[in-house]
Structure 1
């Protein structure tokens, strides 16, 4: 069979926000099929069989058919390679652990060239998936070998390198469930929840309410214990030691058995339990010393290790640990038995696994083996148990069993240290019984605790800890909506939109909200220009939305920005569309006629919140037609009182409109009217008359946010507009 030339990837664009395709980030790829335009899937022998052999779960893709097996039906009937590539990439992402259910492929006006998109929350991951999906498809087309495992490994590596960790991810997911937007602020786990002045920030399981002083206290385990003990919280007796000899001396003073651990370590690294022999204690000191700034020797408390998660002063989840052992069979070495143990799907090196791999060559495991007189090469007799780990395996959910007394001490300890989110390590015989009567104690108070053990327990129900943290940061109000949001006004079009944006910003400022404006005339905050260069694009809006001072935001955008970047915000309170001009400059995006502008600029109206409003220029039929797409209220504006769209809108009952009758600007709600003033009286300072349509758009936007007519009139007379 003759070989086909590669599908050419002409360009790739990552759309980071709502776009012509969807509300969420997507990678848009322009494809040139070349000779393959004449070869749909049913004309390439063996293609479909090779694809389904490599990717059997393609059967789950419903495609446009709407049922299981829909895409396979399309393959059999014959579909073009751009569409096939879309589904191959989506399936590779699915196999790599990142569900990607959305994709579309559309032919453009140039024969054989298609635009294909697929959803992926991280650009770097999307590009790696595209690269390997492209290779897989060409290998299937040309009946060549393809290493599927290597491709999935490469995509998983990109996900691990770029995607949020499980703790941060579960908080972001919980925020999204409440329609709270988020912005990733760095390549790690620093995330902003909400916009502007309504935002909160998280870093893994720490929040911007987490005190640096409290975190510093928690890191010093010896000081934390003394602080807790002074307030009546039971803790084990202990002391910081400077060397191995002192560790042995202190152990004798405290009484055996003892625990040796680093003073400020984490994840149970360097911790050795239940020690009584001098050699073991000195060896444990050497193990703990590299893991922290100091080493503590403390009285060993007999019981089961527990972790209680305290959020906002309440216990929201609890897990308990178990020791890890292997049992001999008389044939396998200890190393071989542990290798089988490490095949447990719950164990792995990445954060996504609730349990770590067991390493018999180093650390506390090696010390534990030495105490039992065995080595990794020992053949363990049949039935004999070898203890590998005593701690660090807290993954059994016990939230429903926590006694109120145990919860009280956990909550008290978090308050004493000063942490809003804390992981409490406790030793208890039974979590369902009062703490002091069973001789329990709090071992550590952890800032920024890992949440995976509560999300993926090895036994018991997962706990909604992300939801608990989001509710702590954004308490649920009676209304239950609007958390993390500031009023955002998005303005799309070309006609005097910078004036409209700045005027709306001024009116919001007068209404009592410190307002930021991102426009083609620069960035403004509190009506002061903070940047002279144009900011009517994604980056400019992004900077504004991350500004903690902004209590409201007005963001100007263009059709080109929507096509090349997407909107910087997920939803807005008010969306304004002034016109459908500019298609002549967008041929590079295959926008070749006026009618195609609807698909682009409808994006601004698609993102209007249910409680918000769309403001539309009724003098342009194509703009007025967007009213049918708005989830919120619609306000129309017109230069004529006889505009048919305005008349029909008012006739519906309570439809609001702003228009000019003679020289008067009128605000109408259904049949009722109020004159705002004459055009002359509404001139800007110095008698400047702005473009009337632009002023009407701004008045309508302000009115939609319940800014009263008197304040609007006063704002016009005091707005100092100097472009």
Structure 2
């Protein structure tokens, strides 16, 4: 067959905020299909079969048909390469573990040129999936080899390197379900939930309510035990030692068998269990000393029973999991390493990444396992006899959910343990023979209280029901009536938009809020300009949203910013649109008329919250038409109260702002409030009536009373002062 030429990427843009395609971040690609414009899928012999053989998951893509197999149906009936690439990129991201489903492809009206957009959770991964998708598509078209497994492995590595870990992502998803916005603050798992003064922060299972003192106490195992014991909770007897000889002496005093572990360790590193001989105890001492941050090692009474990990969030026990011993059985042929791979690591739930609820067992790399094998006269390279049972881990294989079995008294004791240490989120290690019975009826004991506990054992248990940990953490951080949101005002347009943003911020500040404003003149905190750089940019807007002092924020935007970056916030309380000017300056984006521009500017109205307000210029017919797209209410403004759209809106009992007899008037149905005479405004403001009306209406919608509106309008100076 004739080899087809490659697709050309004319432009690739990561839109990080709400945009013309969707509310979520997307990558937008401008495609030149070249000769493929004349080659829809039904004209390429064998193409559909080759593509679906490579990506069988495409059967799940519903596409425009709306049912399973819809995209395959489109392939058979004939669809173009841009649309096909969209679905390939989505499927590659899904295979890499970054689930997504949104994509669209549209012709721009020029031969072979298309705009394609697809949802991505990370720009680096999304761009890599795009490049990989193009190579896969051309291989399927030209019937050339393609290494799908290698490509997916590379994408998986990028997901591991660049995306949130599964535990943090689970918490963020729970926040999203409650419409709480989130911002990622670093390349790791530090995430801000909410905006400005209403925000909370998490770092996986730590929150901004997790105290440094509590973390220090939790890392000191001996101190933790002392505090728990002082409050009446059962703990194993034990003592700190600083030499192998002292460890053996203490073990004899406590009574064999014992446990040896670092006093400042975590996650089970350096812990040796059920030790009864001097050689084992001294060897375990040296292991624990290496794994900890000092030579201090804890020797404790060994408590019989199963290890349990109890997760406490706030004042509630929200999850519990039970551990079990891990064994292999010899076959007389394979060594311990190979047997672990064949009998343990074969479990798909085991792995080395954060996605795996169970760790892969690598005996040769685990000093703890090597010591356990040594006590059985084995090494990782030993070949156990056929039928010989070999203990790999006595405990720690915590993978069975037992949340519903925990006795109420044990749940109460676990929450008390977390409060004693001072942790708002804690992982409690408990050894008990029967989690359904009170501890006083058995020789159970609390072993550790951990800060930043692992969550995967509860999110993806090997056995039992996954627990909604993220929901519990979000409920702990935010009361039922809290959304994490501050009032956000978005201003989109070219006509006086900078003045509208500044004036709105001034009026809200007079209403008693700490305000941030990002506009073309710079960045403002309250009445002070802190940067004179043009701040109609995504990053500048984010600077306001992470500021803990900000109680309300105002952002200027325009069509170009929406087309190149997206809005810097997910939703707003007030969305102002001043005009539909400037389409001639946007020809490079394939915008040809006001209707094209309206499809961009509508983004400002699309993001208005259901209890929010769109403030629209009724004197611009294209702007007024956006009212029907608003999920909230609408305030129209115009100098002339008799405009048809103004009169009908007021007659329906809604709100309008206008000028009558030289004064600004606010009307809600039949009720009217005269705010201020235009003659009392500063000279550089009084001629810009539209901007004054827009800002006044926005502040009015956010509850600023008329007397403060009047005071703010009377003193506002539209001239831009130097940064202070």
TM-score by length of 1: 0.97
Contact 1:268 1:391 in 2 (8 A): no
Q: Which residue of 2 aligns with 1:718?
A: 715
The answer for unaligned runs of 5 or more in structure 1 is none
Q: Which residue of 1 aligns with 2:622?
A: 622
Q: Which residue of 2 aligns with 1:704?
A: 701
Contact 1:267 1:392 in 2 (8 A): no
Give the counterpart of 2:440 among 422, 436, 443: 436
Tell me the distance in 1 between the aligned counterparts of 2:561 and 2:289.
55
Q: Which residue of 2 aligns with 1:9?
A: 9
Q: Which residue of 2 aligns with 1:339?
A: 341
Deviations along 1:423-456, one digit per CA (max 9) or x if unpaired, are: 1111111111111331211111101111111101
Deviations along 1:575-611, one digit per CA (max 9) or x if unpaired, are: 0000011111112211122221101100000000000
Q: Against the structure 1 CA distance between its residues 385 and 179, is the aligned structure 2 distance closer, same or farther, given a 3 Å change threshold? A: same
Alignment of 1:584-623 (within 5 A): 584-623=584-623
Count of aligned pairs: 716
Contact 2:335 2:383 in 1 (8 A): yes
Tell me the distance in 2 between the aligned counterparts of 1:160 and 1:593.
44
Residue 348 of structure 1 deviates from its aligned partner by: 0.4
Give the counterpart of 2:459 among 455, 460, 468: 455
Contact 2:609 2:632 in 1 (8 A): yes
Tell me the distance in 1 between the aligned counterparts of 2:172 and 2:381.
46
Residue 317 of structure 1 deviates from its aligned partner by: 1.0
Give the counterpart of 1:366 among 354, 366, 370: 370
Alignment of 1:236-635 (within 5 A): 236-293=236-293, 294-340=296-342, 341-361=344-364, 362-477=366-481, 482-635=482-635
Q: Which residue of 2 aligns with 1:86?
A: 86
Residue 66 of structure 1 deviates from its aligned partner by: 1.1
Alignment of 1:132-171 (within 5 A): 132-171=132-171
Alignment of 1:103-114 (within 5 A): 103-114=103-114
Residue 417 of structure 1 deviates from its aligned partner by: 1.0
Contact 2:610 2:632 in 1 (8 A): yes
Q: Which residue of 1 aligns with 2:662?
A: 663
Alignment of 1:194-233 (within 5 A): 194-233=194-233
Residue 120 of structure 1 deviates from its aligned partner by: 0.8
Question: 3-state DSSP class of the match of 1:586?
Answer: helix
Tell me the distance in 1 between the aligned counterparts of 2:198 and 2:78.
51
Question: 3-state DSSP class of the match of 2:115?
Answer: strand
Tell me the distance in 2 between the aligned counterparts of 1:210 and 1:364.
30
Contact 1:16 1:26 in 2 (8 A): yes
Is residue 21 of structure 1 aligned with residue 24 of structure 2?
no
User: RMSD value over aligned CA atoms?
Assistant: 1.5
Tell me the distance in 2 between the aligned counterparts of 1:615 and 1:343.
60
Residue 329 of structure 1 deviates from its aligned partner by: 4.2
Tell me the distance in 2 between the aligned counterparts of 1:288 and 1:473.
36
Tell me the distance in 1 between the aligned counterparts of 2:214 and 2:380.
42
Tell me the distance in 2 between the aligned counterparts of 1:26 and 1:184.
16
Contact 2:328 2:390 in 1 (8 A): yes
Question: 3-state DSSP class of the match of 2:363?
Answer: coil
The answer for unaligned runs of 5 or more in structure 2 is none
Contact 2:330 2:389 in 1 (8 A): yes
Residue 315 of structure 1 deviates from its aligned partner by: 1.1
Tell me the distance in 2 between the aligned counterparts of 1:381 and 1:175.
53
Tell me the distance in 1 between the aligned counterparts of 2:383 and 2:534.
73
Question: 3-state DSSP class of the match of 2:304?
Answer: coil
Structure 1 range deviating more: 710-719 or 412-421: 710-719
Tell me the distance in 1 between the aligned counterparts of 2:89 and 2:552.
39
Question: 3-state DSSP class of the match of 2:273?
Answer: strand
Structure 1 range deviating more: 257-266 or 565-574: 257-266
Question: 3-state DSSP class of the match of 1:673?
Answer: strand
Question: 3-state DSSP class of the match of 1:574?
Answer: strand
Tell me the distance in 1 between the aligned counterparts of 2:240 and 2:674.
79
Tell me the distance in 1 between the aligned counterparts of 2:355 and 2:674.
62
Question: 3-state DSSP class of the match of 1:21?
Answer: coil
Give the counterpart of 1:693 among 690, 708, 718: 690
Tell me the distance in 1 between the aligned counterparts of 2:374 and 2:673.
89
Contact 2:222 2:240 in 1 (8 A): yes
Alignment of 1:68-87 (within 5 A): 68-87=68-87
Tell me the distance in 2 between the aligned counterparts of 1:528 and 1:176.
33
Contact 1:18 1:25 in 2 (8 A): yes
Residue 690 of structure 1 deviates from its aligned partner by: 4.5
Tell me the distance in 1 between the aligned counterparts of 2:314 and 2:322.
21
Tell me the distance in 1 between the aligned counterparts of 2:135 and 2:244.
58
Residue 412 of structure 1 deviates from its aligned partner by: 1.5
Tell me the distance in 1 between the aligned counterparts of 2:623 and 2:684.
31
Residue 244 of structure 1 deviates from its aligned partner by: 2.1
TM-score by length of 2: 0.97
